[in-house]
């Protein structure tokens, strides 16, 4: 089976976020594989181990993203592709990313493409379904279980807490929800092997794309931090008085009851 | 320049979700005086059209088909594109719900357009409108503009206030017949796990429990409080991991993002993972035995104490107010 996993290098949002000149300060920050993409990589590896074939991980970014691709290879992916846009693009949006990935995938005859259902930095969750649409294949988002039998696919997806069982077929793109699996940590032998696995680097030129073809449709004009919340009030006194005071405050001051 | 805007309404168990009315309010800003056309897809949605008009839509178009009983991206995609071709709107507004998140990127891709997802506020109107959306799990915000062409946004539930319902408004509710074919996904089963009634992501009040709840039974007082306030129960990842409740209740970076008017965190320490899902709530109450717990840093009001003592007392106090 020909399996692809879409990976994004993201800022670890457990980090403190600072803004300078309208941009998030990235110096010294920790970068990780988007956690939802880890579920996608893990599932890709498990599907390959059960059904045979090859897992290729793809990302768009600059050379720094090689680190996250090597981590995916160390988990067990077979090959990696870095589409390096550093020299070509200053700005990209979801349209841009999907167009580039779809252009790469269009002649690859992918049976199964997996992605995270959302990236924890941008948080729009658009790229997976956009790629599927551009490739004219079906997609199912926020999946928590995947069973493949020949070309038949049975999926359970999370719909705001409810679960839907879906029957469909390959080729297919799915996006991973938490609960799909437990992503493995790369083993030491895995890390050693990953160094020798193929990592292909491409630029827009190699995909016959011009900057104009992928020009962003939207533009971010400002990034800012939410206003600092004033420190809250921790109530004092006898517990039952505290509760009375709290309910009174919620009723009269906050007016939320 | 004014824009003609289509708004996709969303029904759940025979009634329109609140986010549909919020999307109409967002559409009003986007439209800058232009016409607002509500859309409803399903197997029996004709009767809901009037409600959209009372909340600000100028007219409503429905597409009814047995294949639209359950949402699928193919079925709703075909219905949407048929109406789009007929109406040729200049802007589209969806709710950023499970349905909206699934369908909007497909439509944007079909129409070769941008899409600003998960909008929580709109500044300005019409062509000058700027869309505000949370990034980095709500730790920062960005202002986004559409460069040119079709404008497409999805709005996060509970953030943009709906317009006041006006029973005197009237408008045309018409139906378009669309042949829905070739569905590639077939839904064979739907299991409703969410607690009855109030939808967590749309709830005005959320009572959430963490590891401090100690057991599945420990959620009972939280449920009682939530019911009393017409709210929903949520949980931290810790409580879900410990099997005290279903993952469908999880609030956080993984899980749901909620922005209720009132968020009551009981026995939740306030890990960053959890804060990402609730820190933008309007009023936050923290109840925790540990005075050093992180949750007190984001709380508007805090009580250091045992939730099993505090919550029953709160229930009694609130009942007193409600009966007065």
Q: Where are the domains of chain A?
A: 2-214, 228-257
Distance CA B24, CA B20 (A): 6
What is the ipTM metric for this complex? 0.93
Residue pointed to by tokens 């003609």: B4
Local confidence pLDDT in tens for the 324 residues of chain B: 799 999 999 998 889 999 999 999 999 999 999 999 999 999 999 999 999 999 999 999 999 999 999 999 999 999 999 999 999 999 999 999 999 999 999 999 999 999 999 999 999 988 889 999 999 888 899 999 999 899 999 999 999 999 999 999 999 999 999 999 999 999 999 988 755 667 888 899 999 999 999 999 999 999 999 999 999 999 999 999 999 998 889 998 777 889 999 999 999 999 988 998 898 899 999 999 999 999 999 999 999 999 999 999 999 999 998 887
CATH, range A2-214: 3.40.50.620
Residues of A in contact with B141 (CB under 8 A): 223-226
Query: In chain A, positions 68-127, which contact chain B (CB-CB < 8 Å)?
Result: 93-95, 98, 120-127
DSSP assignment of A163-188, as one string? EEEEEEESSEEEEE-TTS--PPPPPH
Contact (Cβ atoms closer than 8 angstroms) between residue A7 and residue A59: yes
Which three-class secondary structure state does DSSP give residue B155? Answer: strand
Q: Find the length of chain A.
A: 257
Sheet containing A2-6, strands listed edge to edge, beginning at the edge strand earlier in sequence: A199-202, A79-84, A54-61, A2-6, A112-116, A172-176, A138-149, A152-159, A162-169, B186-191
**Do residue B200 and residue A94 have CB atoms under 8 angstroms apart?**
no
Tell me the two tokens of residue A24. 């998030």
Which three-class secondary structure state does DSSP give residue B53? Answer: helix
Domain ranges of chain B: 5-175, 200-323
Tell me the two tokens of residue B272. 């960053």
Which residues are bridge partners to B11 per DSSP? B16
**Residue A33 distance to chain B (closest CA, Å):** 14
Residue pointed to by tokens 């449709």: A217
Distance CA A141, CA A158 (A): 8
Q: In degrees rounded to 5, what are phi and psi of residue A207?
A: -100, 10
Query: In chain B, positions 80-139, which contact chain A (CB-CB < 8 Å)?
Result: 97-98, 101-102, 104-106, 108-110, 112-118, 130, 133-139
CATH architecture of residue range(s) B200-323: 3-Layer(aba) Sandwich (3.40)
Interface test with A, best of B133, B295, B317 (most A CBs within 10 A): B317
CATH, range B5-175: 3.40.50.620
**Do residue A121 and residue B300 have CB atoms under 8 angstroms apart?**
no
Question: CA angle at residue A234 from A230 to A240, to 5 degrees?
Answer: 145
Residue pointed to by tokens 């009855």: B196
Identify which of B214, B215, B222, B213 has the alpha carbon closest to the alpha carbon of residue B195: B222
Which three-class secondary structure state does DSSP give residue A129? Answer: helix
Residues 6+ positions from A188 with CB-CB distance below 8 Å = none
């Amino acid at each position: 089976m020909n399996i692809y996993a879409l990976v994004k290098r993201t800022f670890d949002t457990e980090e403190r976020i600072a803004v300078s000149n309208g941009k998030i300060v990235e110096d010294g920050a920790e970068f990780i594989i988007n956690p939802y993409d880890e579920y996608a990589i893990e599932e890709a590896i498990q599907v390959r181990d059960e059904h045979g074939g090859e897992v290729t991980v793809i990302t768009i970014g600059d050379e720094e993203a090689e680190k996250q691709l090597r981590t995916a290879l160390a988990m067990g992916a077979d090959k990696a592709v870095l589409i390096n846009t550093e020299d070509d693009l200053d700005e990209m949006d979801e349209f841009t990313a999907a167009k580039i990935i779809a252009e790469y995938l269009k002649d690859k005859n992918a049976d199964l493409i997996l992605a995270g259902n959302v990236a924890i930095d941008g948080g729009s969750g658009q790229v997976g379904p956009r790629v599927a649409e551009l490739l004219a294949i079906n997609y199912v988002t926020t999946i928590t279980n995947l069973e493949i039998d020949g070309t038949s696919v049975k999926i359970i997806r999370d719909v705001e807490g409810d679960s839907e069982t879906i029957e469909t077929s390959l080729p297919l793109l799915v996006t991973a929800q938490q609960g799909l699996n437990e992503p493995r940590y790369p083993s030491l032998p895995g890390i050693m092997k990953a160094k020798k696995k193929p990592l292909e680097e491409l630029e827009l030129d190699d995909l016959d794309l011009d900057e104009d073809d992928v020009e962003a449709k939207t533009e971010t004009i400002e990034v800012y931090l939410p206003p600092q919340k004033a420190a809250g009030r921790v109530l004092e006194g006898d517990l039952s008085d505290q509760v009375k005071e709290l309910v009174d405050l919620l009723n009269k001051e906050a007016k939320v009851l | 320049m004014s824009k003609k805007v289509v708004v996709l309404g969303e029904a759940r168990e025979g009634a329109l979700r609140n986010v549909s009315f919020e999307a109409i309010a967002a559409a009003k800003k986007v439209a800058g005086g232009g016409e607002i056309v509500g859309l409803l897809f399903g197997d029996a949605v004709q009767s809901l059209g009037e409600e959209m008009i009372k909340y600000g839509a100028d007219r409503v178009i429905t597409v009814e088909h047995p294949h639209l009983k359950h949402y699928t991206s193919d079925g709703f995609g075909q219905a949407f594109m048929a109406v789009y071709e007929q109406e040729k709107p200049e802007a589209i507004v969806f709710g950023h719900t499970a349905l909206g998140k699934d369908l909007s990127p497909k439509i944007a891709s079909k129409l070769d357009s941008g899409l600003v997802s998960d909008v929580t506020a709109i500044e300005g109107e019409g062509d000058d409108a700027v869309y505000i959306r949370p990034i980095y799990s709500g730790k920062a915000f960005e202002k986004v503009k559409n460069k040119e062409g079709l404008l497409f946004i999805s709005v996060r539930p509970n953030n943009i206030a709906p317009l006041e319902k006006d029973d005197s408004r009237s408008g045309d509710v018409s139906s378009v017949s669309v042949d829905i074919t070739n569905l590639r996904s077939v839904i064979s089963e739907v299991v409703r796990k969410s607690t009855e009634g109030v939808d967590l992501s749309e709830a005005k009040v959320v009572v959430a429990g963490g590891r401090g709840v100690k057991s599945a039974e420990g959620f009972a007082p939280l449920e009682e409080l939530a019911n009393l306030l017409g709210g929903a129960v949520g949980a931290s990842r810790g409580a879900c991991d410990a099997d005290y409740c279903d993952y469908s209740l999880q609030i956080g970076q993984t899980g749901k993002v909620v922005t209720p008017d009132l968020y009551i965190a009981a026995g939740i320490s306030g890990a960053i993972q959890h804060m990402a899902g609730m820190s933008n709530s309007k009023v936050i109450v923290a109840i925790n035995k540990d005075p050093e717990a992180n949750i007190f840093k984001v709380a508007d009001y805090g009580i250091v104490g045992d939730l099993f003592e505090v919550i029953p007392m709160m229930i009694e106090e609130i009942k007193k107010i409600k009966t007065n």
